[in-house]
Amino acid sequence: MDCSYELVVVLDPELETEEQEKLLSKIEKLVSEAGGRTSESRLLGKKELAYPIAKKRTATFWVRQLNLSSEKVANFKQKLQLEQKILRFLMVADKRR
């Protein structure tokens, strides 16, 4: 059964726009390989972090709305954790949809 999720991705602030787009395309590919789809993606911009992550004091934040099978979520998250340019991510079920 497909569920709606909100994915917040915190990226290394030193990534150029081109590298960010490449990484976001890779995330999109992971979603489609898992049988899901992205309905919306928006840049929240570069923000100062409350505490350093990997010695970085700022990060670039992106939010994506996903539809993904609940059985595929664990594997999808595992693949996101392997990406070194992703400092952190948070994926929660979107109850509004």
Beta bridge partners of 90: 8
CATH number (domain holding residue 40): 3.30.70.60
- Non-local (6+) Cβ contacts of 76 within 8 A are 30, 31, 34, 36, 68, 91
The pLDDT tens digits along the chain (97 residues) read: 678 999 999 999 999 999 999 999 999 999 999 999 998 999 999 999 999 999 999 999 999 999 998 899 999 999 999 999 999 999 999 876 5
Domain carrying residue 66: 2-93
Question: Structural domain tally of the chain?
Answer: 1
pTM: 0.89
